[in-house]
Amino acid sequence: MDRPIKVLQDKKSYLDLRRQEKVTLLEILDRALEKGVVISGDIVISVADVDLVYLGLKVLLSSVETMERLRGAPMPGATEEPT
Amino acid sequence: MTLKLYAYGVIDSNEKMEESIKGLSEASVYNIPYRDIGIVVSDLDPQAQIKNEESIMRHEEVVEALMDRFTILPMRLYTVFSGREDLLLKVKDHYEDFIKNLDRVRNKAEFGIKVIWAGNIIKERIINAHKSESPSADPTRAGTKFMKEKFEKYKIDKEFEEEADRCIAILDGFLNRIASEKKIEKLKTDNLLLSASYLVDNEKRDDFETAFEVLRNSQGGDLKYLLSGPWPPYNFITLSHPEDGKLGGLDLVETLLQHKSSGRER
């Protein structure tokens, strides 16, 4: 199954893909941990939403900035689907 | 050992799943019907370790596979029921809500936009402008100094927020006309100017992406953008009587961090 995210990149090295996966994971956590249908059954396994989302944002900022620095250029114009 | 039920989402079909989808721990995904809707689940060994990156990705992959075929209300991550009866009791309580929400998000998908600006530099500039405008308070009068500093901080924060509001109004004005609903969060951190979710009709997906491209290309290099999607409509589900089952704690964060530091980054 394709992962849904489109990250702004003009080329995909191995490191780019690894970073893209990280950002995808954070985007999923941003939604699936904090949002969605909540009808708690007997068990809802512990979810550290606030802290994790905050943590995620810090990592996200860092990852976007790192992507840009490593490429040595501002965000390019092309948007690509991941492979 | 009694198996639990791990729930992925509520769909607008009560029919048996035709295609085989593998869920958490490689268990088969199936549909539990209730009236004209269904709750998609897989069996879960209560001892199984599911607090890891693989399970999170699998949850999302299942939800997205379902999204291609049905209208779906995705469950929050790690929603587990002790059995079919327990699950059906909960669904019965929320049935009307589910129908309303399914109608609302039918043929629509969520897109995420994050916009980063140099908030720290902008704030610094505002602080410097204030410093040059107002002479420093008499340091010998502690009370006066304290009050003045408080007031200065208030003015700086207010000015910073106003600047953010101006930028967001332009960005949102561009995207909002294509979306049917939106959720906007301003300044989650000083640098994260905008974190927004837009609910977009499937027929307008291309228009939305084009609008985003135009917006991004028109802003020069001052703002950095992240577009993600199409997502299941996580941000656009509203229940009349939400039950928040979160227990708190940092164990999931710790588990993920341990997982990451154990050599996945090569």
**For residue B171, what are its two tokens?**
């960005």
**Is residue A1 included in any domain, yes or no?**
no
B148 Cα to chain A: minimum distance (Å): 32
**Is residue A49 included in any domain, yes or no?**
yes
Tell me if A22 sits within 8 A of A66, measured CB to CB. no
Spatial separation of the C-alpha atoms in residues B189 and B166, rounded to whole Å:
17
DSSP code at position B262: I
Confidence of residue A5 (pLDDT cuts 50, 70, 90): very low
**A79: nearest CA in chain B?**
B213
Distance of CA A1 to the CA centre of its chain: 17
Residue with tokens 């040059």: B132
ipTM for this model: 0.74
User: What's the confidence (pLDDT) of residue B140?
Assistant: 64
Question: Does A82 score more than 50 pLDDT?
Answer: no
| Cβ–Cβ below 8 Å for B76 and A35 | yes
Spatial separation of the C-alpha atoms in residues B115 and B225, rounded to whole Å:
5
| Cβ–Cβ below 8 Å for B248 and A48 | yes
Dump pLDDT digits (tens) for A11-46: 556 666 666 666 777 788 778 877 878 775 433 333
Q: Which residue, among B85, B100, B224, would best test binding to A if mutated, counting the most A CBs under 10 Å from its CB?
A: B224
pLDDT in tens, chain B (266 residues): 788 899 999 999 999 988 899 999 999 999 999 999 999 999 999 888 887 788 888 999 999 999 999 999 999 888 888 889 989 998 998 999 999 999 999 999 999 998 888 888 888 889 888 877 766 555 567 777 788 888 888 899 999 999 999 999 999 998 999 999 999 999 988 888 999 999 999 999 999 999 998 888 886 667 888 888 899 999 999 888 665 444 333 344 444 444 444 443 33
**Is residue A83 included in any domain, yes or no?**
no
**For residue A15, what are its two tokens?**
């490191």
**Is residue A25 included in any domain, yes or no?**
yes
User: What's the confidence (pLDDT) of residue B175?
Assistant: 93
| Cβ–Cβ below 8 Å for B239 and A32 | no
**Is residue A2 included in any domain, yes or no?**
no
| Cβ–Cβ below 8 Å for B228 and A24 | yes
Tell me if B79 sits within 8 A of A40, measured CB to CB. yes
User: What's the confidence (pLDDT) of residue B188?
Assistant: 83
Q: Which domain holds residue A61?
A: 14-71
Q: The whole model's pTM is what?
A: 0.76
Q: Which helix (H) or strand (E) holds B72?
A: strand B72-74
Radius of gyration of chain A (CA): 15
**Is residue A81 included in any domain, yes or no?**
no
**Is residue A77 included in any domain, yes or no?**
no
**Is residue A50 included in any domain, yes or no?**
yes
Higher-confidence residue of A72 and A76: namely A72
Q: Which residue, among B10, B227, B228, B247, would best test binding to A if mutated, counting the most A CBs under 10 Å from its CB?
A: B228
Give the total residue count for chain A.
Answer: 83
Provide the domain count of chain A: 1
Per the rule left: phi > 0, alpha: psi between -120 and 50, beta: everything else, B263 is left
**A74: nearest CA in chain B?**
B221
User: B112: helix, coil or strand?
Assistant: strand
| Cβ–Cβ below 8 Å for A40 and B245 | yes
Give the class (CATH, top level) of B109-232: alpha beta
**For residue A22, what are its two tokens?**
């990280």
Tell me if B70 sits within 8 A of B82, measured CB to CB. no
